[in-house]
Amino acid sequence: MHNLVDFPARIFYIESSSLQAARVRLTQGEVRKDMSAGKREKILKAAISVFASRGFYNAKMEDIAREAGVAVGTTYLYFENKDDLMISIFEEEMEPLINRMRENMATKTTATEKIATFIHSHLTFVERNPDMAHLLEVEMRFCSQFILGYHGGRFKEYLDLISAALVEGQISGEFKTAIHPSIFKQILFGAVDQIATNYTVSKPKRTLLSSFADEITSVILHGIAK
């Protein structure tokens, strides 16, 4: 436990700077931009598919390269290594998710509605993007020192949508003021994520995931006590 830091921390710092490097290399060539971007995208999409179906641990770089229609070595021109590929998926696929969530929440006027929207939108996303959901929820946990640690930019951004809504509701008088935003955002995200993960992992998907949204919202808003 002493050096939790050692495993991903070191690796991932190098990796995230390498992500920059890859992008720089990309934008340097003026005309190649399109072609390179296309190839990078192809590899990234291939990786999402292969990681989701075989799992990060069992996925071979060769599989990803074949799926993307390139040579193994080519993947290393766009991504530092297997870890960086995973991190890049997270960083780049998370952005549209956050943006859409922010927009969805912005359409609502009350904080209560915003909280309800977060829950419903998250579950709907998981329902519609099973591959990405599986990666974000399951495969990615192993590098959670990076994602969950205080450095994880995108993830924190996502959680902060929750705490912002809470604070808004506390100011407007909708919510109790005693609740600490940084605790609450974890309670809510944890609850929703657990249900989503369980759904993602379970094989016979009998009910629609988003149908649980109201029940979660109710517990969060009003509790279970009579």
Contacts with its own copies by CB under 8 A lie at 1-8, 52-58, 112, 115, 130-131, 134, 138-139, 141-142, 144-145, 148-150, 166, 169, 173-176, 178-180, 183-184, 186-195, 197-198, 200-203, 212, 215-216, 218-226
* Cα–Cα distances in angstroms (integers) from residue 140 to residues 55, 74, 182, 219, 221, in the given order: 10, 24, 22, 28, 30
55 lines the binding site for DNA (CB under 7 A): no
Residue closer to DNA, measured from CB, 51 or 118: 51
Does 61 sit near DNA (CB under 7 A)? yes
Collect all residues with Cβ–Cβ distance below 8 Å to 156 and sequence separation of at least 6. Answer: 150
Give the contacts of 183 (CB within 8 A, at least 6 positions apart).
none
Single residue of 7, 13, 28, 198 touching DNA by CB under 7 A: 28
Which of the listed partners (DNA, its own copies, none) does 150 bind, with a CB threshold of 5 to 8 Å by partner kind?
Answer: its own copies
Residue 90 binding result from its own copies, DNA, none, given CB thresholds of 5 to 8 Å by partner type: none
- The interface with DNA within residues 99-138 (CB under 7 A) comprises none
Q: Tell me how far apart the 2 most distant CA atoms of the chain are, in Å.
A: 66
Number of residues lying near DNA (CB under 7 A): 23
Q: How far is the CB of 68 from DNA (least distance, A)?
A: 9
DSSP class of residue 157 equals H
| Cα–Cα distance list, 192 to 120, 132, 187 (Å) | 9, 16, 9
Residue holding tokens 């050096």? 3
Give the Cα separation of 65 and 57 in Å (integer).
16
Which chain residues interact with DNA by CB under 7 A? 25, 28-32, 35-36, 39, 59-62, 70-74, 76-77, 81-83
